[in-house]
């Protein structure tokens, strides 16, 4: 081996300057990291007002001004050194940590890869303000100066000594965007703190002191919809949860506004995002996501933030418990509060007056074997078409007719309703199948089917879950299976759809049974385009009104309704 190559393989310890810059690069990824760390410091200093000034997306300079506790001159002189912190002194302190920072690496990283200027003064008025300037890890100056209590930190020339990193800085608009996201993440869990963001001299965001709900709705432009947001709370052993969320009518096509904060830090903890999705599942159609901000406060002994240089990741000891609590909180909140108040009142009124009982039982629409061929069901709906004596719809609503063969239109004294006939029937069938799917019945002719290797891997994991709700599958060859038994009510569910289901679905017993029942109900419900007689329409409507959550199994609302008041207003008429 030639000498120079041999030398290059020898191990040597990196010089302090190089290792310092490498470490700095881990904390300071781009300008937004500076914004994050400086805001953390201001919050840790108990400031209740802070302003961020960005120049050129932070590529030129980032300044954060706060009215916090400030630093005495001796502390200020040390703050830019590696591992200099006032927040912990021994490792056990992590167990009782209540501050955002604790590593003592932020200011030192900025001093290592940028120019850092800090002016600070404490509130006691005994010490004058001082200014410290450091760059490339070296102290450039330190002297008394004019200044109010609090701290001003200026960071400029970011990555001046790391050209490779500097090359990767993006256009100022892109860096600004990222800084803005961090700014919002910081402002969200501190609604009692005033936050201002100035971009190239202009005030772009300003949050006054406000409630948590208003902080969320102001920050994410939901101000106009603030009244449909709620704040709900729950507690468990060692943790408490505050959730700010909108009802299911406000939703998005992405998960951007499902956000989780743990001990006031934004974290990307998938399990908790998933818990939110589960909580909303019955209220939102697939592909739509809620607006839901989760603020979790955990006993510091049960949580470890010391696993990611930017503290984006977190290890939580009692995560499954918190997950369950969050799902339960959301579900019970919707069950209690998201019922349609008006429809409920109507339902109660009707219950008190049993003379509205219909002559023809609605059960005809839903025969016991709910999954007979759809034609048979349609025939049964038709067979209800001659109203018998007393079979007029209840007096408190009128059926106005079918619209575009899709909607059934009803009116009451106060409202008009457009009911989606397919969705409504589907939901009611679904409820019936779900509440009594029937016992396991062996198929006279087992249905065999093949799966690909990928499908096989999934199917194997769900066989037991399927069996738990009476769908019995047996492996009969390397990639072949046989459906041997089904719950009674799924017997006439078409083979091809059953196989498609088994090839594509996975999940818990609850997920799987729900999906299969939903598919069966969808297939058997009356479709748009089909005609429906008055009596049947009225029966459907009555059942729909009795639901606490009038949504189809996939979350779509079953009807749209408008009040008389709204309609009068729309045409400029006084009631
Ligand atoms: P850490 O926040 O992990 O302690 P930093 O490098 O961010 O480390 O800050 C070092 C120390 O400087 C802090 O522990 C704190 O004592 C002090 N400090 C930093 N910023 C401020 C500020 N805005 N107000 C008061 N003290 C500050
Ligand atoms: Mg810090």
Q: pLDDT tens-digit profile of 435-477?
A: 888 888 888 788 999 988 888 888 888 899 999 999 999 999 8
Tell whether the model's pLDDT for residue 374 goes beyond 50: no
For residue 261, what pLDDT is reported?
96
Whether residue 528 contacts residue 382, with contact meaning beta carbons closer than 8 Å, is answered with no
45 lines ligand 1 (CB under 6 A): yes
Tell whether the model's pLDDT for residue 407 goes beyond 50: yes
**31: Cβ contacts below 8 Å, ≥ 6 apart:** 54, 57, 58, 59, 62, 158, 169, 175, 178, 179
- Separation of 19 CA from ligand 2 center, angstroms? 20
Q: How far apart are CA 558 and CA 541, in angstroms?
A: 10
321 vs 380, higher pLDDT: 321
For residue 364, what pLDDT is reported?
37
Q: Which of 101, 124, 149, 152 to mutate to test the pocket of ligand 1 (most atoms within 8 A of CB)?
A: 101
- Separation of 296 CA from ligand 2 center, angstroms? 21
Q: How far apart are CA 278 and CA 275, in angstroms?
A: 5
Q: Which of 38, 79, 120 to mutate to test the pocket of ligand 1 (most atoms within 8 A of CB)?
A: 79
Tell whether the model's pLDDT for residue 348 goes beyond 60: no
> 47 is written with which tokens?
């400031």
Q: Classify domain 353-575 by CATH architecture.
A: 2-Layer Sandwich (3.30)
* DSSP per-residue string spanning 144-194: E----SEEEEEEESTTTT-HHHHHT---HHHHHHHHHHHHHHHHTT-TTSE
Under the banding of pLDDT at 50, 70 and 90, the label for residue 3 is low
525 vs 5, higher pLDDT: 525
Tell whether the model's pLDDT for residue 381 goes beyond 80: no
247 lines ligand 1 (CB under 6 A): no
**Residue closest by Cα to atom 16 of ligand 1:** 86
**Residue closest by Cα to atom 23 of ligand 1:** 42
Q: Which atom of ligand 1 is nearest to the CA of 107?
A: 6
68 lines ligand 1 (CB under 6 A): yes
Location of each CATH 3.30.565.10 domain in the chain: 16-207
102 lines ligand 1 (CB under 6 A): yes
Q: Which atom of ligand 1 is nearest to the CA of 150?
A: 24
Q: Which residues have CB atoms below 5 A from the ion given as ligand 2?
A: 40-41, 101, 106
Q: Classify domain 16-207 by CATH architecture.
A: 2-Layer Sandwich (3.30)
**Residue closest by Cα to atom 1 of ligand 1:** 104
Location of each CATH 3.30.230.10 domain in the chain: 212-338
Average pLDDT over residues 423-440: 87
In tens, the pLDDT along 38-54 reads: 999 999 999 999 999 99
Tell whether the model's pLDDT for residue 371 goes beyond 60: no
> 182 is written with which tokens?
């961090």
107 lines ligand 1 (CB under 6 A): yes
Location of each CATH 3.30.1540.20 domain in the chain: 353-575
The angle formed by the CA atoms of residues 543, 548 and 554, to the nearest 5 degrees, is 85
For residue 271, what pLDDT is reported?
87
Tell whether the model's pLDDT for residue 375 goes beyond 60: no
Other C-beta atoms closer than 10 Å to the C-beta of 172 total 19
In tens, the pLDDT along 166-212 reads: 888 888 899 999 999 999 999 999 999 999 999 999 999 999 999 99
42 lines ligand 1 (CB under 6 A): yes
**Residue closest by Cα to atom 21 of ligand 1:** 41
71 lines ligand 1 (CB under 6 A): yes
187 lines ligand 1 (CB under 6 A): no
What Å distances lie between residue 321 and 271, 315, 325, 566, CA to CA?
11, 14, 6, 45
**Residue closest by Cα to atom 8 of ligand 1:** 104
Q: Which atom of ligand 1 is nearest to the CA of 84?
A: 10
Minimum mean pLDDT range among 55-64, 76-85, 228-237, 554-563: 554-563
Q: Which of 85, 109, 122 to mutate to test the pocket of ligand 1 (most atoms within 8 A of CB)?
A: 85
Tell whether the model's pLDDT for residue 433 goes beyond 90: no
For residue 310, what pLDDT is reported?
65
User: Is the entire prediction scored with pTM above 0.75?
Assistant: no
Residue 306 CA: which ligand is closest? Answer: 1
Under the banding of pLDDT at 50, 70 and 90, the label for residue 5 is low
What CATH number is given for 212-338 in this structure? 3.30.230.10
Q: Which atom of ligand 1 is nearest to the CA of 68?
A: 24
């Amino acid at each position: 081996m030639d000498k120079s190559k041999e030398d290059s393989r020898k191990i040597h310890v990196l010089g302090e300057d190089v290792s310092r810059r490498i470490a700095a690069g881990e904390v300071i990824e781009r300008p937004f990291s500076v914004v994050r760390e400086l805001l953390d410091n201001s919050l840790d200093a108990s400031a209740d007002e802070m302003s961020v000034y960005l120049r050129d997306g932070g590529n030129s300079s980032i300044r954060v001004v706060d009215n916090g506790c400030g630093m005495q001159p001796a502390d200020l002189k040390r703050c830019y050194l590696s591992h200099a912190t006032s927040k912990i002194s021994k490792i056990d302190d992590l167990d009782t940590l209540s501050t955002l920072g604790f590593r003592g690496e932020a200011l030192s990283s900025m001093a290592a890869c940028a120019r850092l200027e800090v002016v600070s003064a404490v509130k006691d008025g005994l010490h004058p303000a001082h200014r410290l300037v450091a760059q490339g890890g070296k102290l450039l100056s330190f002297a008394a100066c004019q200044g109010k209590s609090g701290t001003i930190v200026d960071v400029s020339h970011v990555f001046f000594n790391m050209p490779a990193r500097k090359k990767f800085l993006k256009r100022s608009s892109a860096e600004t965007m990222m800084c803005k996201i961090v700014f919002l993440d910081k402002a969200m869990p501190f609604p009692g703190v005033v936050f201002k963001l100035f971009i190239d001299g202009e005030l772009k965001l300003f949050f006054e002191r406000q409630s948590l709900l208003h902080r969320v709705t102001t920050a994410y432009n939901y101000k106009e919809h603030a009244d449909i947001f709620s704040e709900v709370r729950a507690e468990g052993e060692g943790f408490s949860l505050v959730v700010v969320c909108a009802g299911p009518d406000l939703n998005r096509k992405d998960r951007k506004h499902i956000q989780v904060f743990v001990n006031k830090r934004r974290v990307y903890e998938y399990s908790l995002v998933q818990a939110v999705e589960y909580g909303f599942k019955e209220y939102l159609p697939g592909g739509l996501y809620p607006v839901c901000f989760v603020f979790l406060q955990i006993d510091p002994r049960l949580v470890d933030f010391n696993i990611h240089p930017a503290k984006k990741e977190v290890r939580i000891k009692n995560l499954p418990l918190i997950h369950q609590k969050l799902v339960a909180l959301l579900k019970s909140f919707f069950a209690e509060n998201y019922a349609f108040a008006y429809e409920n009142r109507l339902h109660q009124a009707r219950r008190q007056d049993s003379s509205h009982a219909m002559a023809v039982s609605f059960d005809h629409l839903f025969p016991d074997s709910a999954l007979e061929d759809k034609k048979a069901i349609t025939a049964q709906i038709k067979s209800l078409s001659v109203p018998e004596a007393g079979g007029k719809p209840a007096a408190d609503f009128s059926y106005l007719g079918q619209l575009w063969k899709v909607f059934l239109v009803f009116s009451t004294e106060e409202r008009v309703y457009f009911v989606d006939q397919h969705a409504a029937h589907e939901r009611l069938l679904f409820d019936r199948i779900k509440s009594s799917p029937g016992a396991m019945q062996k198929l006279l002719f087992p249905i065999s089917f093949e799966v690909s290797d990928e499908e096989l891997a999934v199917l194997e994991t769900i066989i037991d879950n399927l069996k738990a709700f009476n769908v019995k599958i047996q492996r009969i060859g390397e990639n072949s299976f046989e459906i041997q038994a089904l719950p009674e009510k799924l017997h006439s569910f078409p083979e091809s759809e059953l196989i498609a289901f088994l090839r594509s679905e996975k999940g818990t017993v609850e997920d799987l049974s729900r999906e299969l029942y939903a598919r069966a109900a969808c297939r058997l419900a009356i479709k748009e385009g089909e005609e429906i007689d008055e009596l049947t329409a009225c029966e459907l409507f009555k059942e729909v009104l009795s639901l606490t959550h009038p949504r189809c199994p996939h979350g779509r609302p079953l009807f749209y309704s408008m009040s008389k008041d709204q309609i009068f207003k729309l045409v400029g008429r006084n009631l």
